Structures are given as structure tokens and as C-alpha cells.
Chains A and B, each alone.
Chain A
Amino acid sequence: MSTQQGRERLELLQGTLDLLILRTLIFGPQHGQGVARAIEQTSDEELLVEHGALYPALQRLEERGWISAKWGISTNNRKARFYSLTSAGRKQLVKETSRWNRLTAAIGRILEAEEG
């Protein structure tokens, strides 16, 4: 609880975890804990990644061939399983990103229209 720093964090929307994982991996291979940290940090600690849900998601992406995995050594010298983006994953990321952008734009328009 000490990590929560008093502020209530946002739960991830259904289906967005895959997109975030793919996006995170674009910077290079990363292990699961690294991915979780990256998402949390990049979102300025706004998003909460449930660690338990992360690994089945990684497994699912791996089975679809969007990411590949290899055991390696972390920067602090621990064994960890490193994931990296495949070319299929790269394409998927582009597709998902544009879909996400269209979705948020559409929702944004609706919300703004109501306000206005």
C-alpha cells in the first residue's frame, strides 16, 4: 500500500493491457516486472497494473506470436523472462493504436458535445 502514495489510481480498461504491453516493448526487450513498472511510471503512476493479470496477458500475446520470450539476466543480476516485440506484434501495435485513437477521439467528441 505504501506504493500507492495516497492517490487512488485508475484501473485499466478491459482490453487495453495488451496494447500497453506491446507499446512498452517497442523500446526493447523487457521482463514482466519491467513492463509493469514501465506502464506505471510512464502513466505517472496513474495506471495500476494488477501484476497477477499481466502474466496471463503476456502468455496470450506470446501464443498469438506478437511477442517472443527468452530467459535472461536482469540489470540487477536476477533471472527473468524477457519479452520482445515480433514483427507481427509491431503491425498489431500500429493497428491497435490507430483503433484506440479513433475510439478515444469518438468518445471525446461525444463528451465534449454534451458539455457544449
Chain B
Amino acid sequence: MFQRKRKGSDFGAEIEAHIELETIRLRELGLSDEDARTAARQAFGNVTRAQERFYESGRWMWCDHLWQDIRYALRMLRQSPGFTAIAVLTLALGIGATTAIFSVVDATLLHPLPYPQPEQLVSVEDDLPGVGAQDVGMSVPEWQDLQRSGIFDYVSVIGGGDVNLTGWSQPTRIRFLNVAPNYFAMLGVKPQLGRGFNPQDHTPGFTLELLISDGLWKGTFAGDPQILGKSLRLDNDLYHVIGVMPAGYHDPGRTAEERNIELWLASGFAAAPAPPPLRNSRLPQPAIARIKSGLTIAAAQSRLDALVAALQKQFPADYPLQSAWTIRLTPLKENVVGHVRQSLILLLGAVGLVLLIGCVNVANLLLARASARGRELAIRQALGGARTRLIRQLLTESVLLSLLGGMAGLAILFCAKGFLLQIVPDSLPRLNEVSINWPVLLFALVASVAAGAIFGLAPALHAGRLDLIAMLKREGRGSTGSEEQAGTRRVLVVTEFALSLVLMIAAGLLLRSFADLLNVRLGFNPQRVMAVRTWLPVPNDPKTDIYGTAAQEAPLLRELLRRGRTLPGVEEIAIGNLPALPLGHGRNDLIRFPVILEGHETPSDRPPLLDGSIVTPGYFHLLGMTLLRGRLLSESDNEKAPQVAVINEAFARTYWPNENPVGKRLRLPTPGDRSSLSWTTVVGVLADARTESLAESIVPQMYLSLYQRRAKDLAIFVRGRLDTAAIPVELREQVQSVNPELPVFGAQTLNEVLSASLAQRRFSMEMVGLFALTALLLAGLGIYGVISYMVSERRHEIGIRLALGAQSRNILRMVLRQGLALAIAGAAVGLVSALILSHLMAGMLYGVRPADPVTFAGVAALLIGVAVLACYIPARRAIRVDPLVALRHE
């Protein structure tokens, strides 16, 4: 039975009533008024004792005690505002930062993807481990095999791209997703308005239906309620709107660009512009599937393996045994967030260490205070305060302190939320789902209470072991704190140093990796280069395409080059497709060519696909790429001349090891007719350049002429003394004066592109670096506190030493030695821990080993340097002790 506590005053009233009744009774027996009252009181006995007994019997006593403890603790905290402010601020930063990182981890790693039964969603990737090729794409017949296999509810292919939306103000380029018609049925999402694609639709090419995002609907179309059935002109084709996706819907994708789609088109990927649906013609687009409910991923994978084995037997020519074709299922969530897991866990670990170091610091402060409060505690105990009660009160104080810190931290977090989200690179998956929600608040609460318990425990236990007599005696003599407490404080400082060292080594390794990446030999020169992008429309009917062939496109290109060259500051200009933009394209933007080499018609022992860029001849010189053999592309390599290609060293190494590749021929799909192949001759070899990734190894690349092979996703490159604000506008004017229907977007300098490709690494490095600096600062403060305290404790002794003729140099050395011993002990423990832990972050390093001796030695030296500096200040104070004053003080 839950009963409200009865108040003491009610109990008192009852006693009064009793005495009143008893007095009346006695008066009736004949006693005088006064006698009756006295007798009644005497019969009752001790009123106070009764009230105490009532109070102690209450099951709410502990609640009262807690309230008392809290009030007392608040009073104590108010009494020393300096201490309180420092402790609360330290904890606020620690808890706030930890909570901030946790909110990101919560949204990305802990939350399931926002679709029904997300655990059934998998990403489907074709691998050819035999030739070292991963995720080579699926062919249309394979896709159909999978759909018929009975393993999946739906298998959907998803391609991305840009499209020109014309007829509405400026021609705008819109990021769209072309998906199989079963895409939304597979994800299990429904539009807010209208309908989705019919999952039963089988169409070879594009259906002329589209869905639009809530943002596009409310923005460009002003929330037009009659939007359904309206026609939109995309790349010159008319589509009609069949639905509007709900606000807050995002596609599963790794990057912001992949998630924030505005248009969805349905396609069967079996007709133009997709390649013909042949078994050996792999789609560059990734596939996602929903496995049948009740089937685990492992079970689906084993059934899939059997299917793959059967297909391999059935089509031996398409699946050579050496390539060891497999289809791999991974949870879709892993595909979306897997690549950031390590960084995020590292960040959470780093910020957790900072919080821990903060806790140690506050514990240190509390211990120092506890020794100052030793007298108070001793007296309270001498007066009968129970030890458990004292421990509880001290713990209440520390938990209260850390709850205050937690609240302050959350307040800071709420205020700085917008700013913090801005510094997170927007390539972080699921960033738009980061919020301060209940789990995050709960985390902050748990972190606060845990922090309070951790740093409150040491002082509280000391209070529990107080030696009353010794304490009261010593208190009489001015010295403070016990030897045991000093020992604990030294252990805390050593811990702090060890933790900081681990963090700083992590930061140091990331910093070195980053520096190595910045200094990596690029193989091209990004300085003074700017790129703007445009998109030539791809109508569904090739006959209406005015830029359908390289010959049709060439006049536009030549005109753009001619006009661009006249712009102020422009020294060189070239045009390429999006894959030619170094470090600035995604996986979906690549064009992959099947490789069929002359003399090796079935290249079963080499990766069968190759990334290619399509560029104008000026591209190589503009980017400063080095020709090793043969010649570059030239203006005369046009649509009438034989097809030629320039390749990189990696290509030559992989496909023609130990041979001169110049003059070799390979078969590529014929321009303008993808179903046939024609010969292309290699005319030159370029030095390898890191155009795909700074960190990963260089992949085979091929460069074809834009005059021989058309491309629609164009980047215009200019080099020179450029006005980066004016050039995009001027280029837009030039492009649109040639063709006003063309959008111009995505102006960036190559240095910006380069920097953006490192955004996530930079973020990890900066955050871990920031945490490490904080840790260093806290550790410095910690050792400063301990040594200062030691100096003030030993003033008397130092005074005597000085009086007896000790050199100040000796005193200085004595104090520094004490500090140094702590720092070295901490560094030693830290080095061993860091050796163990740094291997866990091997995947995030570049060009530096996890046990890099330079980093380890450098960081240890830095830490010890900071310790010496922190000890030097109190050491100076020690040698300035005036012997007379110190002795008189006693």
C-alpha cells in the first residue's frame, strides 16, 4: 500500500489532543486545572522522544536524509563558489562533449534504418575475388535470377544521376534516383500524396512517371495541391508526377548527396541509356534487396551461394572459374554506416577518456577539499554522525556536483547544437537524424551519475576511514590531509597522465596520417584550377538527342573552349566528364568499361572492368599530368580518326605486365552503339595520379577523347590567375549563351575538392586533437595542483632546509623530481596502454604504423615537458619561501 507520509506536525497535534483529553479526564476526577495538566504531561512522558520515535519509524526517513544531504551539499557548494565553478565547468564540458558524440553514435550506429523491418534489407554486391575485384555490379539477367530465386521479396537496382529540369525559371540540375519500379515497395515506404511506382511494372527503359520530394513540392511547386498528373520536362522528356514523398523521407545512402534525392524515376535498366541486358554486361548501379521474412541473412546467403554455383555451371563463359564470382549480402545498415563506425567509436572513446580525466581532476580537487574539511568531518563523527551517513553525504555532494555539470553540459549542447552540426562533415551518414532525444538524455544522466560516483568515491572512502583522534590532534597543528590522501592524489595524477598520453598518441597518429596524406605525391597539380559542371540532357528517345554522338557534341565543346579561353585570368581550359574530376566523383558517377584485350579475348585472370574518363586533349597539360611513353590525345583524334586511349601506369602494370603497352589494342563498346565492340589503340602511358582516392592504392585508369566518345556529365576545367567568385558566373553566361537550356552548377576549386575528400578524416583528426589538448590541459592542472599542495605542506621543512643553508637549486630539483616521477610513471603506463590500443585504429591510419616510434616518443616528451612546466611554478614558489616566515608561521 502506498501511503503518503504523515507529517510530524500532525503527530504533534495528536499528542496535544491526547494531553487535552487526559487533562479533562483528570479534572473530572477532581484535580485543579493546573495539576491536571501537569499530571497529564507527566503521564505522557517525554514528548520529544515520542516524536523522535515517530520520525524514525517512518519509511520516508531516507528520503528526508537525502533531502537534508542535498540541502547541505548545496550549501557547501555555495560556500566555495570557485571550486564549484571549476568542477561544474570541467564536468559540463566532459559530459556535454560525450553526450554530443553519443547523439551522433546513437543516430548512426544504434538506430535501425527508418524503414519497416530494416533487418531484412540487404545490400547485394557482386565480387570477383579471384581477380581482386569487388562490387563490380550486377547484370540484368543476374538480377532477374535473384528475383526469381525465392530468397528475396524484392531486389531493386538503384542508379543516381543528374537531370535538367527546364521550363521552371532557371534550368536547374536536379539529383535524381532511377530505381527499379519495386524500390518503394521494397523499402516499405509510401508517398504522402498520390502513389508509388507499381512494383509489378516491368519496363525495359524509363517509365514516364516520377515521384518528387516534399522539399521540391513545397519549394519549386509552392505546395501545389493539384501537382499529381502535372507534367515536368526533364532532359527534354515529359514525365508526369504520380506522387510526393513524405517530408523527412531519406534514401539509404552514405553521403548527403545520396540521401537527399529530389526526384525518383523508375527504370528497368534493360534499354537505353542502360547497356543491353547481357549476362556479361554489368550495371554500374548498386542493388538493394529485402530478404523474405523469416529468413536470416546467413540463411539467405547460403541459398544464394548455391544459386551462384548453379549459374556458374550453366554459363561457364560468362563466369570463368578463376574469377571466383560470388554475390555477397551485407546488412544495408552496415553498407550505409559501416565505413564511419571506426571513426565514431574512436571519437566516443576519446571523448570518454576526456570525461574520465575530468573526473579524476575533480576527484583530486575534492580530495584536497576533503583534507581541508577533515576537521569538520572529524567533529561530526565525534558528535555521533554515523560513518555510512558521512559517506552518503559526501557521495550526495559529488553526484549533485556532476548532475549540475551534466545539466550545464546539456544546456551548452542545446545552445551550440546548430553550430556543432555544422562542423560535422555532411558526408556523415544519417546526419539529419541526429537529435537530442530521450536515449541521449538518458545517456547524459547515466554519464553524470557515473561520473559523480567515480570521482566521489575516493574522498568518500577516505572520510569513512577517518582516524578521529589523529585528525583532531593534527588539525590543532595547522597541517592538513593524511599521508594516505596524498598517496591517492598521486595515483590519480599518474592515471590522468596515462589517459592523456593514450589520447595524445591517438591524435598524433591521426595528425601524422593526415600530414602524410596532404604530402602524398598527387601526380597532378590542383593549384589555380577551378571546375564548374554542366549536364547535357539525355532524352529517352535517342533520335531527339541533339548531343547524341561525339560528332554532334563536338561543336558545343569547341565553342565552349573558345569562349572560355577569352575569360579574364584563364590561361588554360579543358572539358571532361565527371569521372575526370579528380577526387570529386562518387562511385555511381563512374563509367566502367568491360576490358577485352587483343590476344586475351576472355580476360579471366584480370579484373574485367575498368574505370574510364573522357576528356578533351588539353586536360592533361592543364592538370600537370606526366606522360611517360607515347603521346597524349590530340585535337586530330576526332570522330573521323581511329579510336585511341591514354592509360595510366597501373593499367599497364595490371594488363600488360613487362610489356610496352603503346600500340596495344583493346575492344571497347562502339561509341553510339553499345551493343557492338570496336578496337581502341593505346597511344600513351601517364604516370600514376591519385585521382580516385588519396589514401587508397591507385587503380587502373583509361582516358578517352571527348571528340570520339560523347559524355553528358561535363566538368569544365580552367587554370590561371582566377577570380574564384567571378569565374563561375562568367562561365555560366558563356555556357548559356551557347545553349540557354544548360544548367551550370558545382563550381569548386580543385583544392576545395581535395579538401572535401578529406573532410571526414580531418573531422576525426580535429576532434581527437581537441580532446587530446583538453586532456593535456587537465593533466597539467592536475599535476600542478598536487605539486603546489605538496609545496605548501612542506613549507616548514623547506624553510628549515633553506635556513640550514640548502641551495635554492637543490630545493628546485627536489620539487621538480617529485613532479617528474609522477609524470614519468604516468607516461610509462600510458605508453603501454597506447601500444595495445593504437592497433585498433590501424584502419584509420595512412603511411604511419600504429606503433610509430616518432609519435610515441614525441608525445611522451611533450607530456613530460608540460609536467615540468606545471611543476616549475610551485617549485619557484618553494625556493622563494622565507625561512623566517615559514618557521614563525608554525
Contacts and interface: CB of A to CB of B under 8 A. Distances in A.
Contacts of A80: 14, 17-18, 21
Interface in A27-62: 31-34, 37, 50-53, 55-56, 59-60, 62
Contacts of A2: 29, 31, 39
Interface in A57-96: 59-60, 62-63, 65, 74, 76, 78-81
Contact of B54 (A32, A59, A78, A81): A59
B130 to A, nearest CB: 78
Interface string B20-64: 111011100101000000010011111101100110010100000
A59 B55 CA distance: 10
Given A59-B11, A63-B3, A81-B14, A53 B20 contact: no
B54 A56 contact: yes
Contacts of B44: 51-52
B21 A74 contact: yes
B18 A33 contact: yes
Contact of A3 (B6, B11, B43, B47): B43
B14 A78 contact: no
Given A37-B25, A51-B22, A76-B24, A1 B39 contact: yes
Given A33-B25, A79-B17, A81-B17, A63 B45 contact: no
B469 interface: no
Contacts of B39: 1-3
Contact of A52 (B17, B49, B59): B49
Interface of A: 1-3, 31-34, 37, 50-53, 55-56, 59-60, 62-63, 65, 74, 76, 78-81
B21 A60 contact: no
Interface in B435-474: none
B57 A60 contact: yes
A50 B49 CA distance: 12
B825 interface: no
Contacts of B14: 32, 55, 80-81
A63 B4 CA distance: 10
B26 to A, nearest CB: 7
For chain B, the bracket of interface size reads: 20 to 34
B1 A51 contact: no
A33 B14 CA distance: 10
A63 B53 CA distance: 14
Instruction: Classify the secondary structure of A's interface with B.
Output: helix
A80 B49 CA distance: 21
B186 to A, nearest CB: 60
Contact of A31 (B1, B17, B43): B17
A33 B18 CA distance: 5
B15 interface: yes
Most chain B beta carbons < 10 A, residue from A37, A62, A78: A78
16 contacts: A1-B42, A2-B39, A3-B39, A31-B17, A31-B18, A51-B44, A51-B45, A52-B50, A53-B53, A55-B54, A59-B6, A59-B11, A62-B6, A63-B3, A80-B14, A81-B13
Contacts of B29: 2-3
Contacts of B50: 52-53, 55-56
A81 B46 CA distance: 20
B45 A50 contact: yes
A50 B22 CA distance: 13
Contacts of B3: 63
Contacts of A76: 21, 24
Contacts of B6: 59, 62
Given A32-B18, A78-B24, A81-B17, A56 B46 contact: no
Contacts of A65: 1
Contacts of A55: 11, 14-15, 18, 50, 54
A1 B44 CA distance: 12
Contacts of B24: 76, 78
The 8 closest A-B pairs by CB, nearest first: A52-B45, A56-B53, A33-B21, A51-B44, A52-B50, A33-B18, A81-B14, A80-B17
A38 B43 CA distance: 15
A99 B20 CA distance: 36
A55 B21 CA distance: 14
Given A63-B3, A80-B17, A33 B45 contact: no
A62 B57 CA distance: 11
A1 B26 CA distance: 11
Nearest to B3: A63
Nearest to B56: A56
B46 A52 contact: yes
A69 B652 CA distance: 98
A58 B36 CA distance: 24
B360 to A, nearest CB: 45
